[in-house]
Amino acid sequence: MTNDIYLSEFIPRPKLVVKETSILTPRFSVIDAHNHLSEPFGGGWDQRPINELLDAMDAAHVQAYVDLDGGWGEETLHRHLDKIKAHAPERFFMFGGVDWPKWPEYGDHFGDWAAKQLCAQAARGADGLKIWKPFGLSVRDQHQQLASIDDPRLDALWAAAGELKLPVLIHIADPAAFFDPLDSTNERFEELNRHPDWQFPSPPFPPFMKLMNDFKSLVTRHQNTIFIGAHVGCYAENLGWVGKMLDDCPNFMIDISARISELGRQPYTARRFFLDYADRILFGIDAGPELDAYRLYYRFLETDDEYFNYGTSEIPGQGRWYIYGLHLPDEVLRKVYYDNATRIFGKRAL
């Protein structure tokens, strides 16, 4: 006789006895190159006194913080520039964004208009451009046609970013399983069942690999512009593919935000990847300036701990697996934590 239970009721407690290392202080100072300050991802830290935010960063040994919330709109960008960056300009980099709903108004000249807007954002103090995942999934032109990621009508925008020396941090696809049917074979079933709006089946959405191939086409065509692929280049499940794109596109960087769950379940491959591409990887957590989250990332990068939870809930939120530490050497840690970001964002962060 078997006893069936709901998956949500299955909360196994590992009996494995292995060491647990607490990393309270990272080996080097940190620049967080992918994070937020406002809801829903940044925990509403933009509503707190600036001194509380700086204290939280100091506690985590975060020297500088890249806030991507300007990608939500210019109102947010201007508010964060005035309320946060103006009070500690050496600690914050603020990214602007694109007002996609304006495309029908400007038609085929939308790229030129967006380029002018980016120039204005840079003059106002923006340090980069953030592109959210609706680009490629739901952004439509004046004909209500889905805009391709490598649409040549946007060339002026990407060229302007290159001329301004502003990096473009771009998130064009979610985990590959989000594009698969939501059935018993989907490894992210519980997560997608909780958030059905995170699923992007094809049709009506483009296939995952079309998004990725169009992304590579875009980055290849604009080699004078620095592109940062969010979340391990948006394809943490296939480091071979991401590595090939890094090989082919010298203007391409990646960050590791919100993907230690993927990296940590392939520790041998991930460690080789970090060693091979140490100059191309940026640190980031995508979880607000939260001390426990930072220390979890430090543990993942610095220790050889085995089989530990990558989240804060008893059941990991992105999938039912645990992760392993990468135990990276100091020369790699310093580049990932700090040096690579100073090369991209400038010496102001030193």
Mean residue pLDDT across the chain: 95
pLDDT band at 9 (very low <50, low <70, confident <90, very high): confident
| CATH number, position 268 | 3.20.20.140
pLDDT one-digit tens code per residue, 37-46: 998 888 899 9
Q: Judge whether 7 lies within some domain.
A: no
Number of domains in the chain: 1
- Counting DSSP H helices and E strands in the chain, the numbers are 15, 8
Region 81-100 average pLDDT: 97
Q: Judge whether 11 lies within some domain.
A: no
pLDDT one-digit tens code per residue, 199-239: 999 999 999 999 999 999 999 999 999 999 999 999 999 99
Q: What is the pLDDT of residue 350?
A: 45
Tell me if 323 sits within 8 A of 308, measured CB to CB: yes
Q: Judge whether 214 lies within some domain.
A: yes
Region of 109 (left: φ > 0; alpha: ψ -120 to 50; beta: rest) is alpha
Q: Judge whether 305 lies within some domain.
A: no
What separation in angstroms does the CA of 252 have from each of 192, 257, 334, 338? 30, 16, 19, 17
Tell me if 40 sits within 8 A of 286, measured CB to CB: no
Region 179-201 average pLDDT: 94
Q: What is the pLDDT of residue 349?
A: 44
Q: What is the pLDDT of residue 347?
A: 53
Task: State the CB neighbour count (10 A cutoff) for residue 109.
Answer: 13
The residue among 274, 271, 278, 349 whose CA lies nearest residue 304 is 271
Q: Judge whether 297 lies within some domain.
A: no
Q: Judge whether 223 lies within some domain.
A: yes
Domain membership of residue 250 as a residue range? 26-291+330-345
Instruction: Give percent of the chain above pLDDT 70.
Output: 99
Q: What is the pLDDT of residue 326?
A: 98
pLDDT over 80 (residue 2): no
Say if residue 197 is exposed, middle or buried (CB neighbours under 10 Å; 0-12, 13-18, 19+): exposed
d(CA 185, CA 183): 5
d(CA 185, CA 85): 46
pLDDT over 90 (residue 259): yes
Q: Which two tokens stand for residue 80?
A: 């964060």
